[in-house]
Amino acid sequence: MSTTPTRPRRLADVREWHHETDVAIVGFGGAGACAAIEACDAGAEVTIFEVASAAGGSTALSSAEVYMGGSGGTRVQRACGYQDSTEDMFNYLMAAQGDLADEAKIRLYCDRSVEHFDWLVSMGAKYKDSEYKERAIMALTDDCLLYTGNEKSWPFRDVARPCPRGHNLEVEGDNGGPMLMGILEGQVAKRDVRVEFDARALTLISDDEGAVHGLVVRIDGVERNVRARKGVLLAAGGFVMNREMLEKYAPLLTLGNIPVGNPGDMGSGILMGQGAGGALLHMSEGFLTLPFYPPSSLTYGIFVNAQGQRFVNEDVYHARVAHHAVRQLGRGVYLIVNHDDYHHPPFLNASVAGTGETLAELAEEVGLPVGNLEHTVAYYNEHAARGEDPLFHKSPEWLKPIESPYAALDCTPGSGVIYPYFTLGGLDTLPTGEVLTMDGRTIPGLYAAGRTACGVPRTAAGYASGLSVGDATFFGRVAGRQMAEAPSRG
Amino acid sequence: MSTTPTRPRRLADVREWHHETDVAIVGFGGAGACAAIEACDAGAEVTIFEVASAAGGSTALSSAEVYMGGSGGTRVQRACGYQDSTEDMFNYLMAAQGDLADEAKIRLYCDRSVEHFDWLVSMGAKYKDSEYKERAIMALTDDCLLYTGNEKSWPFRDVARPCPRGHNLEVEGDNGGPMLMGILEGQVAKRDVRVEFDARALTLISDDEGAVHGLVVRIDGVERNVRARKGVLLAAGGFVMNREMLEKYAPLLTLGNIPVGNPGDMGSGILMGQGAGGALLHMSEGFLTLPFYPPSSLTYGIFVNAQGQRFVNEDVYHARVAHHAVRQLGRGVYLIVNHDDYHHPPFLNASVAGTGETLAELAEEVGLPVGNLEHTVAYYNEHAARGEDPLFHKSPEWLKPIESPYAALDCTPGSGVIYPYFTLGGLDTLPTGEVLTMDGRTIPGLYAAGRTACGVPRTAAGYASGLSVGDATFFGRVAGRQMAEAPSRG
């Protein structure tokens, strides 16, 4: 399936160490960089091995939005008038991740989230004390704070007091990723951290009891045995670029057409970790989304399936819409809007499946059951006029009868509309980053973070922008500290 | 997580072999028994280790229905007037398993299915040349053949010509399991197969290259090293009885309340195989069902969700209904029927959530949105009267307007209604039973079959009764032959 061998090299077969370090980190993205900084600051000798010729990983390709809050609020939240509570953040994330939630990770993430914000600021990350009030995927201005999840929508608004927790760097446009990685790379460069680029991690080195003592890396075409006295951190991303792995482990994600990741997201860290005895969690899960807003006016529309029925409250986060859209029976997902409310969405690339002065005209053009679509819209309109949505409890601010003329945007997977995606399954770890076996033991010397691990975000149904970079940077830091404090072997 | 250690014992640490055999089989259920018979008939020395005090496994607890057909039909199919084709069977199973389908396994299963029928008959299994024509989960008479999947319902009926493929033994009531296991155990007893009961497999024994040479078994409180010259077959069932594993790997299944399995289904085979380097597939998947028929008259009803909307064609297999029922937003799943069509289902244990002369009365009693339920039923009735279902394409034979007085059966998970379940995820194997690593290599000496492997059935959405026992017995046989032909080591 892959050129990465999953079986570790035996320690007893290692005749020579070509390089020694305390902490070896595979991958110089957000997780690896943060781990390196913390491990170094805690006194450990650190080496990063990055398969590409430059730092960045998938964090550099992202918006670098970070989901943070709790503890009375980050500086930005407080400046914007929000007193976020740790319990609200915790209860929200637990509900959003649902039966996949990792309570221990969510607890630690919420407890230390404001500290994480302060640390990012101390590294040089600049966040403006301002809120971006539009419903958007990210702030394209230099504003900081916005709602990026499902906090204000049913059923989550009934579980925890909503608060915006998406933090965007002070930069115009979608340029947060390169900026954050520039900051983190600068901090790594200031420290005594050795970085090897164009260095491909091939396999781990384990002893006969399974403990990890290092890894084999190929640099300049030569295999080198690297001893890691305190441990190896796998922070090599997910497997969104490995088509064979996707088809085998996460086939639903192949409905997506825009992989979000860098070419190194081949699952190599996951494969190496599993080969060393690590358990894998939720390999079928991923972020799969339908970025139908901005413009936020499209939220006034309603999504219908091939039956012409609604299936979700349209005010939720775009990935939650996608999660339910791809689970509808029959082929067809459409966003029905008033033609005048329609503005071309910048990301979606959806074609207009039909238009009509009447719903019957629209339904016939699109190929939807006429009477059912007519009822769906009539029922929705009747209640929307009263600020009610008895079916899916869409928030009153997004309720408005859909008037003629009508338009239907084709959001059917495969129709040309974009469905970005990346993987969320990976190695089972403790909050410390220690990799677990299936019988619940830790594997001495082996750690994982970022999308190589199964972290806080585990399902598109409860995803929020900022959770993946938040998880990667936060748990990268935790793992870095944990490794620095681990006993040195050899 | 479990007392079963996942890490194999090192071959180099084995000082003494307490027992030697060609083929060691863990588990004396359907898969293990069939493997033993075939391996023995192919000339191998075989030992079965069973943790319980008797043979049976989960096959003995099942109806022992077997899904078979193709190649012009089994003897029973032909006698009942069905000329089944291999391509129809293949196309149906591929469509039913959808994006989880294992084409190679399905191909082999379909190609040799009639041979498997003949083999079961040659072992002593008795199948009457008769058809059970009712829509049912199993034949409670001694009749043999019935439709047990989604063959006749949308969208599958458009993919392949329908044919009944569920084969029930000639026995009254739900007594096929003990009968089939009695037959297979008798065949094992007739052969020179050593059987150790009360023998708990603890871990595999692997060499430094990962090849499996045997296993450690505890008998009478003493650990014994068992050398398996040709290989070890893990046929130890799934993990339906391991609550911790379920919550971690298949949390959706915890909506179920009736585990289908025996106390040994603790995932021990899966844990041992993964520890030896085996990849796991689709660990979150399972059979989860809502056995709402018989009586078949309930199929005239319609399922609605908390929105009062239909979500599936009600003529599908009961597990397909459950698959979609548990994915609906909001709490509530109800079967709406005409009160006079209502007959107490023997399995379901559903309470009547409400009754009414009018739909408004019913909706209010149940707590459903009145106008939406009224539309759902009116729209359904209007088309049903014409033999049409524009939404979900329910077959005309099950279309009949639902008249007053109405009743709603509460099918909400957690309401007391039964949702039987078992696991479908397991070790990734070739059709031969050889266990694969994540990088696509086989592990010499390691095989898996039955629910320890991820076999033909992989999703409740496309399940058919008879697929699990069919898969276990068929691929158990294949693995038995494969192992007997493997080179002998040591």
Closest-CA residue to B150 (of B160, B141, B142): B160
pLDDT at B474 over 70: yes
Q: Cβ–Cβ of A284/B279 closer than 8 Å?
A: no
Give the closest of A6, A280, A312 to B280, CB-based.
A280
Pairing of strands B166-167, B66-67: antiparallel
Q: Cβ–Cβ of A327/B329 closer than 8 Å?
A: no
pLDDT tens track for B121-142: 999 999 999 999 999 888 889 9
- Cα(B372)–Cα(B239) distance, rounded to whole angstroms? 41
Q: From the CA of A144, how many Å to the nearest CA of chain B? A: 32
Taking a contact as any Cβ pair under 8 Å apart, which residues of chain A between 168 and 207 contact chain B? Answer: none
Question: Measuring CA to CA, how many Å separate A256 from each of A41, A419, A455?
Answer: 40, 5, 21
Q: Cβ–Cβ of B372/A379 closer than 8 Å?
A: yes
Query: How confident is the model at residue A4, as a pLDDT?
Result: 58
> Look-up: residue for tokens 């819209």?
A377
Q: From the CA of A9, how many Å to the nearest CA of chain B? A: 9
Q: Cβ–Cβ of B210/A375 closer than 8 Å?
A: no
Give the closest of A271, A284, A372 to B284, CB-based.
A284
Q: Provide, as residue numbers in chain B, all residues whose Cβ is less than 8 Å from the Cβ of A210.
A: 7
Query: How confident is the model at residue B334, as a pLDDT?
Result: 98
Q: What single-letter DSSP state applies at residue B131? A: B
- Residue B477, H or E segment: helix B467-485
Q: What is the mean pLDDT of the segment spanning B164-169?
A: 97
Closest-CA residue to B251 (of A250, A288, A282, A324): A282
Question: Measuring CA to CA, how many Å separate A271 from each of A236, A248, B7, B209?
Answer: 10, 13, 17, 17
Q: Within an 8 Å CB–CB cutoff, is residue B158 touching chain A?
A: no
Structure tokens at B47: 């030992």
Residue in B closest to A207 by C-alpha: B208
Positive or negative, the CA dihedral A309, B362, A400, A377 is: positive
> Look-up: residue for tokens 């069973």?
B50
| Coil/strand/helix, residue B43 | coil
Q: Return the C-alpha torsion angle B340, B345, B351, B354, nearest 10.
A: -20
Q: What is the mean pLDDT of the segment spanning B192-204?
A: 97
Q: Within an 8 Å CB–CB cutoff, is residue A375 touching chain B?
A: yes
Task: Report how many Cβ contacts below 8 Å link chain A to chain B.
Answer: 112
Q: Cβ–Cβ of A6/B372 closer than 8 Å?
A: no
Q: From the CA of B309, how many Å to the nearest CA of chain A? A: 8
Give the closest of A99, A329, A371 to B392, CB-based.
A329
Give the closest of A208, A249, A439 to B2, CB-based.
A439
Give the closest of A10, A281, A438 to B208, CB-based.
A10
Q: From the CA of B40, how many Å to the nearest CA of chain A? A: 33
Query: How confident is the model at residue B1, as a pLDDT?
Result: 40
Q: Within an 8 Å CB–CB cutoff, is residue A309 touching chain B?
A: yes
Give the closest of A252, A254, A438 to B1, CB-based.
A438
**DSSP string over B402-451:** -PSSEEEEE--TTSS---EEEE--EE-B-TT-EEEPTTS-EEEEEEE-GG
Give the closest of B210, B282, B369 to A390, CB-based.
B369
Query: How confident is the model at residue A1, as a pLDDT?
Result: 40
- Cα(B30)–Cα(B469) distance, rounded to whole angstroms? 7
> Look-up: residue for tokens 């005239």?
B300
Q: Within an 8 Å CB–CB cutoff, is residue A152 touching chain B?
A: no
Question: Measuring CA to CA, how many Å separate B40 from each of A19, A21, A485, B475, B484?
Answer: 53, 54, 56, 15, 8
Closest-CA residue to A52 (of A265, A215, A272): A265
Q: Cβ–Cβ of B309/A312 closer than 8 Å?
A: no
Q: Provide, as residue numbers in chain B, all residues whose Cβ is less than 8 Å from the Cβ of A331.
A: none
Residues (pLDDT < 70) of chain A are 1-5
Give the closest of B4, B6, B280 to A277, CB-based.
B6
Positive or negative, the CA dihedral A102, A104, A105, A108 is: positive
Q: Within an 8 Å CB–CB cutoff, is residue B381 touching chain A?
A: no
pLDDT tens track for B179-191: 999 999 999 999 9
Share of chain B above pLDDT 90, in %: 95
Q: What single letter denotes the amino acid at residue B60?
A: A
∠ CA(A156), CA(A161), CA(A165), 5° rounding?
A: 85
- Cα(B213)–Cα(B203) distance, rounded to whole angstroms? 11
Query: How confident is the model at residue B139, as a pLDDT?
Result: 85
- Chain Cα centroid distance, residue A150: 14
Give the closest of B1, B379, B438 to A6, CB-based.
B438
Number of H-type helices and E-type strands within chain A: 12, 21
Taking a contact as any Cβ pair under 8 Å apart, which residues of chain A between 428 and 447 contact chain B? Answer: 428, 437-440
In this structure, are residues B83 and B41 in contact, taking their beta carbons and an 8 Å threshold? no
- Cα(B78)–Cα(B84) distance, rounded to whole angstroms? 8
Please, which residues bridge with residue A222 across strands?
Answer: A219
∠ CA(A117), CA(A121), CA(A126), 5° rounding?
A: 110
Taking a contact as any Cβ pair under 8 Å apart, which residues of chain A between 123 and 142 contact chain B? Answer: none
Pairing of strands B46-49, B258-259: unpaired
- Predicted complex ipTM: 0.96
- Cα(A294)–Cα(A291) distance, rounded to whole angstroms? 8
HSE on the CB side for A348, CA within 13 Å?
25
In this structure, are residues B28 and B55 in contact, taking their beta carbons and an 8 Å threshold? yes
Q: Provide, as residue numbers in chain A, all residues whose Cβ is less than 8 Å from the Cβ of B428.
A: 248
Give the closest of B208, B327, B428 to A327, CB-based.
B327
Q: Within an 8 Å CB–CB cutoff, is residue B279 touching chain A?
A: yes
pLDDT tens track for B354-387: 999 999 999 999 999 999 999 999 999 999 999 9
Q: From the CA of A11, how many Å to the nearest CA of chain B? A: 11
Q: Within an 8 Å CB–CB cutoff, is residue B101 touching chain A?
A: no
Taking a contact as any Cβ pair under 8 Å apart, which residues of chain B between 207 and 236 contact chain A? Answer: 208, 210
Q: Cβ–Cβ of A275/B438 closer than 8 Å?
A: yes
Give the closest of B312, B329, B439 to A392, CB-based.
B329
Phi, psi (5° rounding) for residue A37?
-60, -50
This model's pTM is above 0.95: yes
pLDDT at B5 over 80: no
Please, which residues bridge with residue A214 across strands?
Answer: A205, A227
Q: How sure is the predictor about B2, in pLDDT bands with cuts at 50, 70 and 90?
A: very low
Q: Provide, as residue numbers in chain A, all residues whose Cβ is less than 8 Å from the Cβ of B311.
A: 329
Q: Within an 8 Å CB–CB cutoff, is residue A4 touching chain B?
A: yes
Q: Cβ–Cβ of A392/B307 closer than 8 Å?
A: yes
**DSSP string over A10-66:** EGGG----SEEEEEEEE--SHHHHHHHHHHHHTT--EEEE-SSSSS-TTTTTS---E
| Coil/strand/helix, residue B289 | coil
Q: From the CA of B15, how many Å to the nearest CA of chain A? A: 16
> Look-up: residue for tokens 């069902």?
B289
Q: Cβ–Cβ of B1/A439 closer than 8 Å?
A: yes
In this structure, are residues B47 and B488 in contact, taking their beta carbons and an 8 Å threshold? no
